[in-house]
Amino acid sequence: MIKILRKLFDWTDAFMMFLCKLLLIGDVAITSMAVAGRYVSFIPDPAWSEQIVLTFMCYMAMLSATLAIRRRAHIRMTSFDKYLPKKLVKFLDVLADVAVLALGVVMLVYGIKVCNSPLARFGRYESLPQLSRVWMYLPIPIAGAGMVIFELEQIFELFFDKEDA
Protein backbone atom coordinates (compact mmCIF):
# COMPACT_ATOMS: atom_id res chain seq x y z
CA MET A 1 0.00 0.00 0.00
CA ILE A 2 2.85 2.38 0.84
CA LYS A 3 4.47 1.82 -2.56
CA ILE A 4 1.17 2.53 -4.34
CA LEU A 5 0.73 5.77 -2.42
CA ARG A 6 4.32 6.76 -3.12
CA LYS A 7 3.74 6.19 -6.86
CA LEU A 8 0.58 8.34 -6.71
CA PHE A 9 2.49 11.14 -4.98
CA ASP A 10 5.41 10.89 -7.42
CA TRP A 11 3.10 10.81 -10.44
CA THR A 12 1.16 13.86 -9.22
CA ASP A 13 4.42 15.72 -8.59
CA ALA A 14 5.77 14.85 -12.05
CA PHE A 15 2.47 15.85 -13.70
CA MET A 16 2.35 19.21 -11.90
CA MET A 17 5.99 19.90 -12.77
CA PHE A 18 5.34 19.00 -16.43
CA LEU A 19 2.38 21.39 -16.52
CA CYS A 20 4.48 24.17 -14.99
CA LYS A 21 7.18 23.63 -17.61
CA LEU A 22 4.65 23.76 -20.45
CA LEU A 23 3.09 26.90 -19.02
CA LEU A 24 6.49 28.58 -18.68
CA ILE A 25 7.36 27.73 -22.28
CA GLY A 26 3.99 29.10 -23.41
CA ASP A 27 4.47 32.24 -21.33
CA VAL A 28 7.91 32.94 -22.76
CA ALA A 29 6.83 32.19 -26.33
CA ILE A 30 3.69 34.33 -26.24
CA THR A 31 5.43 37.21 -24.45
CA SER A 32 8.32 37.10 -26.92
CA MET A 33 5.92 37.13 -29.85
CA ALA A 34 3.94 40.03 -28.39
CA VAL A 35 7.03 42.12 -27.68
CA ALA A 36 8.60 41.35 -31.07
CA GLY A 37 5.27 42.08 -32.75
CA ARG A 38 5.37 45.65 -31.48
CA TYR A 39 8.66 46.36 -33.24
CA VAL A 40 8.76 43.97 -36.21
CA SER A 41 6.04 44.51 -38.80
CA PHE A 42 5.69 40.91 -40.06
CA ILE A 43 5.34 39.35 -36.56
CA PRO A 44 1.76 39.51 -35.25
CA ASP A 45 1.01 41.17 -31.91
CA PRO A 46 -2.20 39.41 -30.88
CA ALA A 47 -4.66 41.26 -28.67
CA TRP A 48 -5.15 38.17 -26.52
CA SER A 49 -1.49 37.78 -25.53
CA GLU A 50 -1.67 39.69 -22.23
CA GLN A 51 -4.71 37.81 -20.89
CA ILE A 52 -3.32 34.41 -21.83
CA VAL A 53 0.09 35.21 -20.31
CA LEU A 54 -1.58 36.31 -17.08
CA THR A 55 -3.72 33.18 -17.02
CA PHE A 56 -0.64 31.01 -17.51
CA MET A 57 1.09 32.88 -14.69
CA CYS A 58 -1.87 32.17 -12.38
CA TYR A 59 -1.64 28.49 -13.25
CA MET A 60 2.11 28.44 -12.57
CA ALA A 61 1.72 30.24 -9.24
CA MET A 62 -0.98 27.88 -8.01
CA LEU A 63 0.71 24.70 -9.25
CA SER A 64 4.13 25.69 -7.95
CA ALA A 65 2.59 26.30 -4.53
CA THR A 66 1.54 22.65 -4.48
CA LEU A 67 5.04 21.59 -5.54
CA ALA A 68 6.50 23.65 -2.68
CA ILE A 69 4.30 21.72 -0.25
CA ARG A 70 5.70 18.43 -1.52
CA ARG A 71 9.28 19.61 -1.05
CA ARG A 72 8.53 21.40 2.23
CA ALA A 73 9.87 24.54 0.57
CA HIS A 74 6.98 26.81 1.56
CA ILE A 75 7.52 29.45 4.21
CA ARG A 76 7.36 28.16 7.74
CA MET A 77 8.65 29.41 11.05
CA THR A 78 11.39 27.09 12.28
CA SER A 79 13.63 29.50 14.20
CA PHE A 80 12.43 28.27 17.62
CA ASP A 81 12.31 24.56 16.76
CA LYS A 82 15.70 23.86 18.31
CA TYR A 83 14.58 25.39 21.62
CA LEU A 84 11.22 23.63 21.87
CA PRO A 85 10.57 20.02 22.93
CA LYS A 86 10.57 17.61 19.96
CA LYS A 87 7.00 16.46 20.69
CA LEU A 88 5.76 20.04 20.61
CA VAL A 89 7.57 20.68 17.31
CA LYS A 90 6.01 17.54 15.82
CA PHE A 91 2.57 18.63 17.08
CA LEU A 92 3.02 22.09 15.56
CA ASP A 93 4.15 20.51 12.27
CA VAL A 94 1.03 18.35 12.21
CA LEU A 95 -1.13 21.37 13.10
CA ALA A 96 0.41 23.40 10.25
CA ASP A 97 -0.08 20.50 7.83
CA VAL A 98 -3.71 20.09 8.89
CA ALA A 99 -4.30 23.83 8.39
CA VAL A 100 -2.81 23.71 4.87
CA LEU A 101 -4.81 20.53 4.18
CA ALA A 102 -7.98 22.38 5.22
CA LEU A 103 -7.03 25.24 2.88
CA GLY A 104 -6.57 22.71 0.07
CA VAL A 105 -10.02 21.24 0.73
CA VAL A 106 -11.58 24.72 0.73
CA MET A 107 -9.80 25.58 -2.53
CA LEU A 108 -10.94 22.32 -4.09
CA VAL A 109 -14.59 22.56 -2.99
CA TYR A 110 -15.14 26.26 -3.61
CA GLY A 111 -12.94 26.27 -6.71
CA ILE A 112 -15.24 23.67 -8.26
CA LYS A 113 -18.26 25.80 -7.25
CA VAL A 114 -16.73 28.89 -8.85
CA CYS A 115 -15.87 26.95 -12.02
CA ASN A 116 -19.50 25.81 -12.24
CA SER A 117 -20.94 29.26 -11.54
CA PRO A 118 -22.59 31.33 -14.27
CA LEU A 119 -19.79 33.89 -13.94
CA ALA A 120 -17.25 31.32 -15.09
CA ARG A 121 -19.38 29.31 -17.50
CA PHE A 122 -20.92 32.21 -19.36
CA GLY A 123 -18.19 34.80 -18.87
CA ARG A 124 -15.71 35.23 -21.67
CA TYR A 125 -12.24 36.66 -22.08
CA GLU A 126 -12.48 40.17 -23.53
CA SER A 127 -9.90 39.55 -26.24
CA LEU A 128 -10.89 35.90 -26.88
CA PRO A 129 -14.69 35.76 -26.74
CA GLN A 130 -14.75 32.10 -27.77
CA LEU A 131 -12.81 31.15 -24.60
CA SER A 132 -14.76 30.63 -21.37
CA ARG A 133 -13.59 32.14 -18.09
CA VAL A 134 -13.66 28.65 -16.57
CA TRP A 135 -10.05 28.45 -17.73
CA MET A 136 -9.24 31.48 -15.60
CA TYR A 137 -10.66 29.91 -12.42
CA LEU A 138 -9.60 26.30 -13.05
CA PRO A 139 -6.17 26.54 -11.34
CA ILE A 140 -7.88 26.98 -7.96
CA PRO A 141 -9.46 23.50 -7.73
CA ILE A 142 -6.46 21.91 -9.46
CA ALA A 143 -4.11 23.44 -6.90
CA GLY A 144 -6.52 22.48 -4.11
CA ALA A 145 -6.43 18.86 -5.23
CA GLY A 146 -2.64 18.95 -5.40
CA MET A 147 -2.43 20.52 -1.95
CA VAL A 148 -4.68 17.82 -0.49
CA ILE A 149 -2.62 15.05 -2.08
CA PHE A 150 0.74 16.49 -1.02
CA GLU A 151 -0.41 17.42 2.48
CA LEU A 152 -1.70 13.88 2.98
CA GLU A 153 1.78 12.73 1.99
CA GLN A 154 3.39 15.12 4.49
CA ILE A 155 1.11 13.96 7.30
CA PHE A 156 1.71 10.35 6.28
CA GLU A 157 5.48 10.88 6.44
CA LEU A 158 5.28 12.52 9.86
CA PHE A 159 3.72 9.37 11.32
CA PHE A 160 5.67 6.78 9.34
CA ASP A 161 9.42 6.86 8.84
CA LYS A 162 10.73 7.22 5.30
CA GLU A 163 12.63 3.96 5.79
CA ASP A 164 9.30 2.13 6.07
CA ALA A 165 8.33 3.25 2.55
Q: Rounded to whole angstroms, how far apart are CA atoms 54 and 30? A: 11
Burial class (CB in 10 A: 0-12, 13-18, 19+), 33: middle
- pLDDT 10s per residue in the chain (165 long)? 677 888 888 998 999 999 999 999 999 999 999 999 989 888 888 888 999 999 999 999 999 989 998 888 877 777 788 899 999 988 988 898 899 999 999 999 999 999 999 988 888 888 888 888 899 899 999 999 999 999 988 888 877 755 544
All structural domains of the chain with their residue ranges: 2-164
Q: Kindly report the pTM of this predicted structure.
A: 0.81
